[in-house]
Amino acid sequence: DGAKLKTAITAGEKVKVSFNGDKTKSANPEAGKMSAFSSWGVAPNLDFKPEITAPGGQIYSTLNNDEYGMMSGTSMAAPHVSGGSALVLERVDKDFKLTGHARTNLAKNLMMNTSRPVKDQGVVNKALGWENPYSPRRQGAGVMQLHSALSTPAVVTEAFTKEAKVAMKEVGNTFAFSLKVENFSNKAVKYDVKGNIQTDYAIQGQLGYSAHQLEAQEIKDASIKINNKDTNKITVPAKKSVTFEVKVDISKAKVLGDDLETLVDINKVFPNGYFVEGFVTLKDPADTNPELHVPYVGFKGEWDKAPILDGTKYDKESFYGAAGAVTTVGKDFDYLGHDRVADTFDSKRIAISPNGDGAQDDFVPLLSFLRNAKKVEYSILNGENKQVRKLRTENNVSKNYYDSGEGTAYTLDPARKWDGKVNNALAKDGVYYFEIKAMIDYEGAKWQTYKMPIRIDTVKPTVRISKKGNVLTIQGKDNLNGSGVAYYDVQVDGKSILENLLPGTSKQFTLPDLRGEKVQVVAIDNAGNEKAAETELAKDSAPIDNYAPAVKIKSPETLSVNNKSKIKITGEIQEASKIKEFKIDNQTVPVTYNKTSKKYEFSYEKKYADGVQSMTVKATDNWDNTVSFKKVFMVDTTKPGLKVKGVPATVGAKAKNPKVDVTVEDNFDEIRLYLNGSEVFYNEFKEPYKMRAFKKEIKKLELPLKSGNNKIEFKVTDLAGNESKKEYNIIKAKK
């Protein structure tokens, strides 16, 4: 019908469409497919996730105000599984009389065993008629089948973990696992047991045929044996159990090449490793009892080898294209190493001048985490790649989720910045490296190391100019070990006349017709140092509103830490109608409408005691739509305690470095101790978030001394950045 309408309209015919109230039904074209937004496994440490699948896309569900509508997401699938779990638990309670973990684990195993693996309906699988199931990393054990879960006479689990799934983690050319079948019934049960082996489909060096659609393919020339047979028959006597071995051999594994006909070595297609996965299926030959399945997943390769951090703007390859080095510009940040004229990035241009002039005074890493990191360390290395300062340690750093713009492609934390200091003094001009060491949460994982070069350059460039007619001749250069001239700005009486800066390679500039007294050329190097040279020159009824106000608290941020008791609470409210009432902690707060942003704005101050605070926010519009939520943040106004014992006034020339005992304490248990600017102790503030007093004595802390007078500074900082210091002078004899 649509094609007929288009043809008629194209031909210039008059087309009339009438709607008489008749309804028709059409199948959802996505029915039976895994939702594109469904989260993938495995867990960062190669544990098996997800575990089960349920309908979650385009679900007809309840909405607010006695309405129904289509919704999608885990919030739709989760209640489906929750309801099913309740029914299965009824069976467990009735038939097995279990309690605690054994009760819930059996219910989960019953549901996973009897789930139905969904067939992959990707472009290639569908076009070629393949019968591969979706990856267990995408669907878990499959779609929940309640009738089967409530009627199966047996359950099958991995013999060691007693779970209906197998996480092999890293595997070799061969691997094996044992499955145990337990018969609950009063009759013997029989099964034909077999398994499949699959991995991800790849073509022309890319995963999947279509963008953002990962498909499955069979691993060829590989074997999966059940007690040394392709298909084995097992009989489980009544009230008994039987254990069998599953052995997988991928030593000669192959997959289809780009022509979808030729078999190629799987290691050439996946040089960085690949997943080996599938399902072990137990089918009743009489088709009386439900089919049982156990999904398994392993990774052939080095799991800790894939990069934790994305490439930077200075590298040839970068997934997000966002990572790099930035510097503080007021309340904002600018990229370092960015040629604003050519709009290119070069790590050789990364430079700072930490002289306090507000121009490129610091270096802040802007990072894109591709994987969750168990631990990350940030340090400064000198030109010889030796650590001269350890800046920070972080645990459990989450990867970035861009999510089509819903998340951020990068992490920018000013706490990771380098202020250009080493041993509490400005570092000498020269080349340094910002080192990031990261490690994944996997037993035996190795550190991954990333470095970005930094040049400290505090010397201004030089510039000379001469003028003949309206042509300026420019001669500029930077010092021998400087960062290089990046741009020139041309000004008349202190105001720029350029739309775009001139590149640092410029030699001449033709002045336009203008008035003024003096013309200046300002040379700007890659570290932000500037030097100038000059010469003589010249209203209806509002619609019904069914939506609650959208309140955004700008400050304080969730889980933010504040070192002042008086908290300024600011934010905005998006609301089509007017705000009837807005309260914070049950106190009415006035709002002001901003005609430009078309949002209501508020600013309110309140004092809070030290601790983990919870602020209640409630907004109601003229239609009595209400939203209420809590905002959690921390207040810490108390300085940490610091005690040092055993600091000598003098030390002999040949004496070993002295060792002291340092005691740190605070009302919160996040605390860092620095010795001359380098971190020597760190205790992390962890969940559950609450104010916990902390006290720790660090014994035998060695003080590095050199001949002569040594200034020693101990500094302790807490969760909110409050700090306490103790300074000492120790004289070490020269002879």
Lowest average pLDDT, out of 164-168, 314-318, 401-405, 505-509, goes to 401-405
Q: Which residues pair with 467 in a beta bridge?
A: 472
Rg (the chain; Cα; Å): 34
Whether the Cβ atoms of residue 563 and residue 721 lie closer than 8 Å to each other: yes
Q: Is the pLDDT of residue 76 over 70?
A: yes
- Among the candidates 635, 651, 674, a domain finishes at 635
Distance, CA of 345 to CA of 620 (rounded, Å): 49
Angle at the Cα of 315 from the Cα atoms of 309 and 321, rounded to 5 degrees: 65
* Residue pair 632/559 in contact by the 8 Å Cβ criterion: yes
In a domain, 155, yes or no: yes
Query: Sheet holding 411-412: strands in order across?
Result: 332-335, 324-329, 364-367, 411-412
Looking at the structure, do residues 365 and 438 belong to the same domain, yes or no?
yes
pLDDT band per the 50, 70, 90 thresholds, residue 1: low
Helix-then-strand count for the chain, H and E: 7, 55
Residues 382/429, Cβ–Cβ less than 8 Å: no
Residue 542 predicted with pLDDT over 70: no
CA angle, corner 674, sides to 673 and 678, nearest 5? 140
Please indicate, yes or no, if residue 38 is contained in any of the structural domains: no
Range of the domain at 274: 74-300
- Scan for tokens 């007093």, then name that residue: 693
Tell which residue, 141, 142, 245, 240, has the closest CA to residue 190.
240
Q: 611 and 654: one domain? A: no
**Number of neighbouring beta carbons within 10 Å of residue 240:** 12
Mark whether 335 and 359 lie in a shared domain.
yes
In a domain, 67, yes or no: no
DSSP character at residue 348:
G
Same domain, 631 and 646: no
Same domain? 280 vs 148: yes
CB atoms within 10 A of CB 718: 26
- Beta-bridge mates of residue 695: 665
Report yes or no: 580 and 595 within 8 Å, Cβ to Cβ: no
User: What token pair was written down for 371?
Assistant: 């994987």
- Is 69 within a domain? no
Give the CATH number, domain containing residue 663. Answer: 2.60.40
Number of domains in the chain: 5
Give the Cα separation of 370 and 323 in Å (integer): 11
Average pLDDT, the chain: 93
211 and 240 co-located in one domain:
yes
pLDDT the model gives residue 540: 43
538: confidence class by pLDDT, cuts 50, 70, 90 = low
CATH number at residue 100: 2.60.40.1710
What are 103-115's pLDDT values in tens digits? 999 999 999 999 9
**Separation CA 26–CA 296 (nearest Å):** 37
Q: Average pLDDT of 159-174?
A: 97
Stretch among 123-127, 154-158, 534-538 having the lowest mean pLDDT: 534-538
Q: 292-300 and 166-171 as β-strands: parallel, antiparallel, unpaired?
A: parallel
Mean pLDDT score, 561-580? 94
Listed in sequence order, the residues at least 6 apart from 307 whose beta carbon sits closer than 8 Å to its beta carbon are 370, 371, 448
DSSP conformation letters of 609-650: -SEEEEEEEEEEETT--EEEEEEEEEE--PPPEEEEE---SE
Asked whether residue 453 carries a pLDDT value surpassing 70, the answer given is yes
Residue 38: CB atoms within 10 A of its CB come to: 18
Q: Same domain for 392 and 281?
A: no
Inform me whether the pLDDT recorded for 682 exceeds 90: yes
* pLDDT more than 70, % of the chain: 98
Q: Does residue 544 lie in a domain region?
A: no
Q: Which two tokens stand for residue 397?
A: 């750093």
| H or E element in which residue 225 lies | strand 223-226
Q: Which residues pair with 430 in a beta bridge?
A: 456
Query: How far is it, in rounded angstroms, from Cα 255 to Cα 263?
Result: 5
Q: Are 323 and 311 in contact (CB under 8 A)?
A: yes
Q: What is the pLDDT of residue 186?
A: 96
Sign of CA dihedral 454, 459, 460, 461: negative
pTM over 0.85: no
pLDDT, tens digit, for every residue of 327-364?
A: 999 889 999 999 999 999 999 999 999 999 999 999 99
With bands split at pLDDT 50, 70 and 90, how would you rate the model's confidence at 404?
low
Strand partners, 292: 282
CATH number at residue 354: 2.60.40.4070
Whether residue 44 is predicted with pLDDT greater than 60 in this model: the reply is: yes
Other CB atoms within a 10 A radius of the CB of residue 720 amount to 22
- Residue 8 to residue 519: CA distance in whole angstroms: 68
- CB contact set of 53 (below 8 Å; sequence gap of 6+): 34, 38, 77, 115, 118, 139, 140, 141, 142, 143, 144
Closest CA to 200 of 294, 123, 277, 252: 277
pLDDT in tens, 48-68: 999 999 998 888 888 899 999
Token match 């003229």: residue? 622
* 8 A C-beta contact, residue 450 and residue 438: yes
Whether residue 626 is found in the same domain as residue 688? no
- 671 pLDDT higher than 70: yes
Per-residue model confidence (pLDDT) at position 543: 57
Residue 271 CA to residue 303 CA, distance in Å, equals 13
Nearest-angstrom CA–CA distance, 596 and 26: 45
Q: Given this model, what pLDDT does residue 551 score?
A: 96
Task: Give percent above pLDDT 90 in the chain.
Answer: 81
Distance CA(198)–CA(255), nearest Å, equals 9
> Is residue 21 very low, low, confident or very high in pLDDT (cuts 50, 70, 90)?
confident
Residue 363 CA to residue 357 CA, distance in Å, equals 14
What's the pLDDT band for 541 if we cut at 50, 70, 90?
very low
Question: Residue 37 — pLDDT band, cuts 50, 70, 90?
Answer: confident
Contact 56, 80 (CB under 8 A): yes
Side chain identity at 481, as an amino acid letter?
A: N
Whether residues 476 and 566 share a domain: the answer is no
CATH of the domain at 612: 2.60.40.650
Residue 554: inside a domain, yes or no? yes
In this structure, are 656 and 605 located in the same domain? no
Instruction: Return the pLDDT at 211.
Output: 61
Distance (Å, rounded) from C-alpha 636 to C-alpha 303? 40
3-state percent helix, strand, coil for the chain, nearest multiple of 5: 10, 45, 45
Among the listed residues 642, 637, 633, 655, the one whose alpha carbon sits nearest the alpha carbon of residue 706: 655
Predicted pLDDT at 430: 96
Place of tokens 């100019």: 465
Asked whether residue 186 is assigned to any structural domain, the reply reads: yes
539 confidence band (pLDDT: 50, 70, 90): very low
Contacts of 245 (CB under 8 A, 6+ apart): 176, 177, 178, 226, 227, 228
Regarding whether 466 and 450 lie in a shared domain, the answer is no
Strand partners, 423: none
User: For residues 351 and 504, what is the distance between their CA atoms, to the nearest angstrom?
Assistant: 15
Mean pLDDT of 619-630: 90
**Dist. CA 127–CA 493, nearest whole Å:** 71
Contact 430, 488 (CB under 8 A): no
SS (H, E, C) 547-598: CCCEEEEEECCCCCEECCCEEEEEEEEECCCCEEEEEECCEECCCEEECCCC
List alpha helices for 96-164, DSSP H: 100-113, 123-128, 136-139, 146-151
Query: In the predicted model, is pLDDT for residue 16 greater than 90?
Result: no
Boundary residue ending a domain (436, 456, 476): 456
Residues 230 and 118 in one domain: yes
The number of angstroms, rounded, from the C-alpha of 580 to the middle of its chain's C-alpha atoms is 39
Question: What secondary structure does DSSP assign to 146-164, as a single string?
Answer: HHHHHH-SEEEEETTT-SS
Instruction: State the DSSP code for 442.
Output: S
Tell whether 542 is covered by a domain.
Answer: no
* Structure-block tokens of residue 49: 């996730």
- Among the candidates 432, 456, 480, a domain finishes at 456
